[in-house]
Every structure is written in structure tokens, then in C-alpha cells.
Amino acid sequence: MTRERFTPTAPQSLDEDEQRRFIRAANRCGSTRNTALALLLLYTGLRVEEVQALDVDDVATSARRGKVIVRDGKGHVYREVPLHRSARTAIRAWRDERPTHRGADQTPALFLSRRGDRLRVRAIRYIVTEIGAAAGLIHESGPHASTSRVHPHTLRHSFATQLLRNGIDIVIVADVMGHATVDTTRSYTRSSETDRAHAIEHALITDE
């Protein structure tokens, strides 16, 4: 018997309803910094290490426009990502508050820890998973039941998937994601396990 090839699944992402729940939880979290951090990740698709490395001057905002400058390991501009208005609003609120935080005059880092130094990747991951849990976005079963299923890479995947499903050209998506080739970006055009389950459940005839 011929073994059929396994169909790759799209990277795990949040659907539109789940994204709305995450956004509401981020806005209710009680921390201007954490709100800005969460919405920046969701609305830019940046890697967690790229967000961790951001300095204050790497984010430019105005009433109508904004962008994030992503730099490589040598400090050179790697790419620029436009900022959605929701992210702009959250970041402006954090930058207005940032000067009052410990260490703000000692480091150019955009996101500060309680100690006053640059927020670490581990802390960013923790903040995102906590907001995901507050949004009720948890594993329903299995070894990770009742724990958050939202991580920074989930938000990155959600960003790319949402752009492609709304008809944005794959070359543009590859550029803002920082992909070397569009082949990597194409993985977001695959169907997810949820997509396939929904299709089967709602597209077939029943006797009901």
C-alpha cells in the first residue's frame, strides 16, 4: 500500500475572535508597558528577540503614522515595519510613562524591567503567556491543559496569517516579516487543523 504524504499544517496562530480576546486582555492588564509590548508583537510580527533589542529611538510615532526600525546584530537597519494605529497608541502611552521608571535615564532600551535594565526575552514570553491566560486562550486538554497557549511566536504567526488572508501580497508580507525568501512566508498560506475541522463540520450534508 502506498503511503500518502503528510500535508504540512500552517504555523499555530490565533483566529480573529481569539485576537480580539487577546487585545482586550492586553488593554485590561493594568500595565502600560505590558499593553504596549503585547500589542507591538501582535501588530508587527516581530520576533521576540527583535522586540527585546528595541531602543526608544527605534520606534517613531505620530498621529497618523508610525514605524519600527529593526536592526541586525551590528546595529544596522535590517527592515522597517509600519505600526498599526492601535500599537501606536499603546506605545505612546508607554513612552509617556517610561521616564518615571527606574533606570530610564541609564539605558536606551524601549522596554524596561523592574530593576531598570533592558527587559529580558524570558520576561517578555512570560508577559505574553499571562495575557493569553487572562484572555482564556489556554490548552483545553493534554499535558499542558489549563496553561496559556499564546507565546510571542503565536502572535508573529497570527500577524502573517491575518495579512495573507486579507489579500496582502506575499512579497510585502515577506518583507515585513523579515523572511529571506517568500518560500518561508508560504507556510502561512497552508490550512490549519482548525480550518480543516471547520470545513468538514460545516460543508458536508447531514440528515438534520
- Tell me the catalytic residues: 47, 74, 153, 156, 179, 188
Burial zone of 166 (CB within 10 Å; 0-12 exposed, 13-18 middle, 19+ buried):
exposed
Collect all residues with Cβ–Cβ distance below 8 Å to 132 and sequence separation of at least 6: 22, 25, 138, 148, 149, 150, 151, 154
Taking the CB of residue 98, how many other CB atoms lie within 10 A of it?
A: 19
Extract the C-alpha cell encoding 129. Answer: 503567556
Cell of 207: 440528515
Residues in contact with 16: Cβ distance below 8 Å, sequence separation at least 6, in sequence order: 162
Q: Where are the beta strands (DSSP E) in the chain?
A: 59-61, 66-71, 77-82
